Amino acid sequence: MIMAFVVAVRRRFRMAVSILIAVLLPVLLWKPITWTADCMHLALTVWTGAGQLGRSSMPDGSPFAAYDWSVGLAGGPNTFLIYDATDEIVLPLTLHKQPIAFERGFGKDCAGKATHLLGHYYVCTY
């Protein structure tokens, strides 16, 4: 940023703009890049069933499934991909209409903290 200002003072505006774009472009593209990576991770996880906790939700018609996205480092955060057809996982626990057993233990830790990813899929980190 300082270098772009110095170049602009020397009246080399094209170079100053180039420097600003080079500095700001990664910052502006950070969110779209991480969202795209998470969507690709979602597709691979659901397609292969990797990291699924418990039985599959599709054959028995249960509208809730959880997948482990944790890296596995000791002391690191626990990250889970959650499929919730009722979309109640983003609500505070007091507003949930389903019984607590419906969310297989994730309701207490993820209620109100899960972030929407795509469709009925949410990411919960705690």
Task: Verify that 11 and 65 share a domain, yes or no.
Answer: no
Task: Verify that 65 and 13 share a domain, yes or no.
Answer: no
Domain around 38: 2-47
- Number of separate domains in the chain: 2
- What's the CA gap between 117 and 120, in Å, rounded? 8
Percent of the chain residues past pLDDT 90, beyond the cut:
8
Return the pLDDT at 28.
92
Return the pLDDT at 57.
45
Return the pLDDT at 100.
64
Mean pLDDT of 94-107: 71
Query: Long-range pairs for 11-20 at CB < 8 Å and ≥24 separation?
Result: none
Task: Verify that 73 and 18 share a domain, yes or no.
Answer: no
- DSSP per-residue string spanning 46-94: HHH-TTEESS-HHHHT-SEEEEE-----TTPPPEEEEEETT--TTS-GG
Task: Verify that 39 and 54 share a domain, yes or no.
Answer: no
Given 16, 32, 47, which residue is the final one in a domain? 47
pLDDT digits (tens, 9 = 90+) for 27-84: 999 999 999 998 998 888 888 877 776 654 443 556 788 888 877 667 777 888 888 8
Interacting residues of 115 by C-beta distance below 8 A, sequence separation 6+: 90, 122, 123, 124
Task: Verify that 9 and 29 share a domain, yes or no.
Answer: yes
Given 47, 68, 84, which residue is the final one in a domain? 47
Task: Verify that 115 and 72 share a domain, yes or no.
Answer: yes
- What's the CA gap between 27 and 25, in Å, rounded? 5
Task: Verify that 75 and 36 share a domain, yes or no.
Answer: no
